[in-house]
């Protein structure tokens, strides 16, 4: 604030002095320096005026340069922090770098590290409810599964209305039992579970499954539907994964 006041007072004083010089110059111009020199002490007046004039011109030039400098500092953006300067990478370059890193690691790692990478990747993908389903299947158990399909024409493919409705969700106590079909479909896509043929001698479980909310909704489709009995169990990959990651096991097998 003091700096601004000082600059302001200096500019005001300079303005007054410039105004005086202009008025004096105009007055002198009217009578001419030649006539002034002829007056008593006129030569001294002329020299004094010329000195003041040069001083004012020099001060005005310096003042204008300072004003210009301050103006540039205020308007020009400050230089960016080098740490904040991030050039936009060419499109796709980051993906290529990541792929290159994966290929390098693949060439440099052995079976043990590759297994750890695979299982770590799976753990990042599955949800807590899906982990609970794997725990329920980890002992080798199988559970009933129902698909609900529309009745197609002879020789045609029937559209699946609901896939992988199962009792496993409620049996193992997942939080979202109604999402069991979705969970099983995801686990199947990861290769951790497999859908097999219907289980024998458990008709009562299949009938109970048909009372499940999602199954009943699918069966209420406007088009004629049918149920397809299947079962779910752990796949070979799922079994190896669970043996390695089972928190109740002190020593996982590879």
Q: Is 54 helix (H, G, I), strand (E, B) or coil?
A: helix
**Residue-level pLDDT at 221:** 84
The answer on 117 and 213 residing in a single domain is yes
pTM over 0.95: no
Q: pLDDT digit string (tens) for 11-22?
A: 555 455 445 444
Report yes or no on 90 lying in a domain: no
The answer on 7 and 65 residing in a single domain is yes
**Residue-level pLDDT at 70:** 56
The answer on 231 and 181 residing in a single domain is yes
Average pLDDT over residues 105-111: 90
Report yes or no on 24 lying in a domain: yes
Structural domain count, the chain: 2
Report yes or no on 217 lying in a domain: yes
Report yes or no on 229 lying in a domain: yes
The answer on 241 and 116 residing in a single domain is yes
Instruction: Please state, in angstroms and rounded to a whole number, the distance separating the CA atoms of residues 252 and 240.
Output: 9
CB 163 within 8 A of CB 185: yes
The answer on 143 and 24 residing in a single domain is no
- Closest to 63 measured CA to CA, from 19, 22, 7: 7
CB 158 within 8 A of CB 200: no
In the sheet with 143-150, reading across from the earlier edge strand, the strands are 160-166, 143-150, 225-234, 193-196
Q: pLDDT digit string (tens) for 56-101?
A: 555 545 655 655 555 555 555 555 554 554 556 677 789 999 999 9
The answer on 112 and 234 residing in a single domain is yes
Instruction: Please state, in angstroms and rounded to a whole number, the distance separating the CA atoms of residues 218 and 162.
Output: 6
CB 160 within 8 A of CB 167: no
**Residue-level pLDDT at 17:** 47
Helix (H) or strand (E) holding 195: strand 193-196
Report yes or no on 94 lying in a domain: no
Burial 4-23 (b: 16+ CB within 10 A, else e): eeeeeeeeeebeeeeeebee
The answer on 71 and 113 residing in a single domain is no
Q: pLDDT digit string (tens) for 208-247?
A: 999 999 999 999 988 889 999 999 999 999 999 999 999 9
Q: Is 128 helix (H, G, I), strand (E, B) or coil?
A: helix
The answer on 132 and 69 residing in a single domain is no
Q: pLDDT digit string (tens) for 27-62?
A: 444 444 454 455 555 555 555 555 545 555 555 456
The answer on 211 and 155 residing in a single domain is yes
Burial 145-179 (b: 16+ CB within 10 A, else e): bbbbbbeeeeeeebeebbbbbbbbbebbebeebeb
Report yes or no on 98 lying in a domain: no
Instruction: Please state, in angstroms and rounded to a whole number, the distance separating the CA atoms of residues 45 and 3.
Output: 36
**Residue-level pLDDT at 159:** 86
CATH of the domain at 195: 3.30.110.190
Report yes or no on 211 lying in a domain: yes
Provide the residue range defining the domain that includes 189.
Answer: 108-245
Instruction: Please state, in angstroms and rounded to a whole number, the distance separating the CA atoms of residues 141 and 239.
Output: 11
Instruction: Please state, in angstroms and rounded to a whole number, the distance separating the CA atoms of residues 130 and 241.
Output: 13
The answer on 70 and 154 residing in a single domain is no
Q: Is the pLDDT of residue 109 over 80?
A: yes
The answer on 207 and 113 residing in a single domain is yes
Q: pLDDT digit string (tens) for 129-159?
A: 999 999 999 999 999 999 999 887 565 567 8
Domain boundary among 28, 56, 75: 75
Average pLDDT over residues 173-199: 97
The answer on 55 and 141 residing in a single domain is no
Report yes or no on 135 lying in a domain: yes
């Amino acid at each position: 604030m003091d700096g601004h006041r000082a600059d302001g007072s200096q500019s005001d004083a300079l303005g007054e002095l410039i105004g005086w010089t202009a008025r004096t110059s105009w007055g002198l111009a009217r009578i001419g320096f030649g006539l002034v020199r002829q007056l008593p002490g006129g030569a001294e007046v002329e020299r004094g005026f010329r000195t003041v004039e040069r001083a004012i011109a020099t001060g005005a030039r310096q003042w204008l340069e300072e004003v210009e400098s301050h103006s540039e500092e205020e308007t020009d953006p400050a230089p960016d922090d080098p740490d904040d300067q991030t050039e936009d990478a060419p499109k796709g370059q980051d993906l290529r770098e990541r792929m290159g890193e994966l290929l390098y690691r693949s060439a440099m790692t052995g079976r043990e590290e590759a297994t750890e990478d695979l299982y770590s990747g799976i753990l990042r993908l599955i949800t807590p409810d899906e982990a609970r389903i794997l725990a329920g299947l980890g002992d080798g158990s199988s559970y009933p599964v129902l698909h609900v399909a529309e009745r197609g024409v002879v020789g045609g493919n029937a559209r699946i209305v609901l896939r992988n409705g199962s009792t496993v969700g409620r049996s193992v106590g997942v939080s979202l039992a109604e999402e069991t079909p979705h969970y099983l479909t995801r686990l199947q896509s990861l290769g951790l579970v497999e859908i097999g043929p219907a289980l024998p001698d458990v008709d009562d479980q299949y009938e109970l499954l048909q009372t499940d909310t999602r199954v009943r909704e699918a069966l209420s489709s406007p088009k004629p539907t049918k149920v397809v009995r299947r079962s779910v169990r752990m796949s070979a990959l799922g079994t190896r994964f669970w043996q390695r990651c089972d928190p109740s096991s002190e020593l996982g097998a590879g």
